[in-house]
A = this chain, B = another copy of it.
Amino acid sequence: MTDFNDEEITDFDEILQNNIPESLLPKIQKLLYGHNVKKLKVLDEIETLSNVFNFELKSFRFSAEKEELRMPRIVRVGLIQNHIVLPTTESILRQKNALYTRIKEIIAIAAKAEINIICLQEAWNMPFAFCTREKQPWCEFAECAETGTTTKFLQKICKELNIVVISPILERDEIKSDIIWNTIVVIDNNGIVLGKHRKNHIPRVGDFNESTYYMEGNTGHPVFQTAFGKIAVNICYGRHHPLNWLMFGLNGAEIVFNPSATVSGLSEPLWGIEARNAAIANGYFTCAINRVGTEVFANEFTSGDKKPAHNKFGHFYGSSYVAAPDGSRTPGLSRIRDGLLIVELDLNLCRQVKDFWGFQMTQRLEMYAKSLSDVVNPDYKPQIIG
């Protein structure tokens, strides 16, 4: 199913490891990833299972200083990136069920590594079909956030395994006019739906014709208080918007997940930058997740790039990673394989970094609240000298 070009790189870090001399490698890695990321050892059984079930497993940890008044607040997050399982021409139910089966097996293995919070990729229970601009059958994939099949499927798992799952889906608002949204559902570790959030910023670029299907979200910037810390979700294209990241921070988020679907040739030079910058600027952890593989559709479509009509989306390049508030980040998952990235965080690092750097104290929010209010005035005169 994948359309990966053999000449492309599959794993950036592997190339470094295979070519940079041992004496230099840690220094190069430190420049690339910062000083505060270490490998995390997981049970051999988990390694074995990842091979059996054919997905890549990487695991790291970020540490924090010991404090007198607060105990460490250790959380393990799991980021899952995956191909769709069946061709996009299969029935909706078969496609969904195949993805349920695949995700269930990965989550079960993740749970053995004592993961607390799992985030799935954007619109994880379907192909990313918005390239087609066809309304059907893709709108049929949409489900009620609170009572849909996908939510029910995950509720059972969350309760059974005592984990929080962030489930990005296409939402059908059955109560309000059947409108469709791009939504994440947060399911708590007791199996109850804690809440949902709708994507704030919608792309109109290349094959990402999402504005044909849903509008800008109307749920603000909620932070979800879970048993494992305060989390928020910046969905996909929202990662290009520093203000979106900012508001999740101002509402108290300690981890912000960024479930995405994005392709090489489009966003790859931006991928390692944006979520990491957000972690630095806002004093929280960020978890960037991208799907993998090339999805093929029955009917041809064009991409607004002057090229002939075609049936394939570009290559979703995976490369999921986690960034810490101190600017460190993990290496990424593979560019082509399904994968599980396990990362152990000490949430105490967030406040420690804020105290150290002082970005929040020095950010002059009052000035910018006023500046932005001025700018949105249609008569705003930019401050230009000369």
Contact = CB atoms under 8 A, between A and B. Distances in A.
Contacts of A384: 222-225, 230, 251-252
A363 B372 CA distance: 12
Given A19-B19, A34-B269, A385 B224 contact: yes
A9 B33 contact: no
A243 B274 contact: no
A123 interface: no
Contacts of A222: 383-385
Interface in A267-292: 267-270, 273-274, 276-277, 280-281
Interface stretch (A52-60, A136-144, A155-163, A353-361): A353-361
A148 interface: no
Interface string A10-42: 001001000111001001100101110000000
Contacts of A28: 9, 12, 15
A223 B220 CA distance: 32
Interface stretch (A96-104, A202-210, A307-315): A202-210
Contact of A372 (B19, B20, B204, B372): B372
A202 B364 CA distance: 11
A28 B12 CA distance: 7
Contacts of A362: 201-204, 216, 237, 241
Given A195-B385, A250-B382, A281-B242, A205 B19 contact: no
Contacts of A19: 19-21, 24
A127 B237 CA distance: 43
A29 to B, nearest CB: 11
A22 to B, nearest CB: 11
Nearest to A363: B241
B240 A364 contact: no
Contacts of A245: 242
A194 interface: yes
Interface residues of A, number: 81
A269 to B, nearest CB: 3
Contacts of A373: 369, 373
Contacts of A280: 240, 270, 273-274
Interface string A215-252: 01000111111100010000001001111011100111
Contact of A223 (B230, B267, B276, B385): B385
B364 A372 contact: no
A378 to B, nearest CB: 11
A69 interface: no
A221 B383 contact: yes
Contact of A369 (B194, B326, B372): B372
Contacts of A9: 24, 27-28, 31
Contacts of A21: 19
Contacts of A372: 365, 368-369, 372
A72 interface: no
Q: Name the 6 nearest CB pairs between A and B, nearest first.
A: A34-B269, A269-B327, A242-B242, A277-B277, A369-B372, A225-B386
9 contacts: A9-B24, A34-B269, A186-B385, A204-B358, A220-B371, A241-B281, A243-B363, A273-B280, A372-B372
Given A273-B280, A366-B376, 11 more contacts: A203-B358, A204-B361, A225-B384, A225-B386, A226-B386, A251-B383, A252-B384, A269-B329, A369-B369, A369-B373, A373-B373
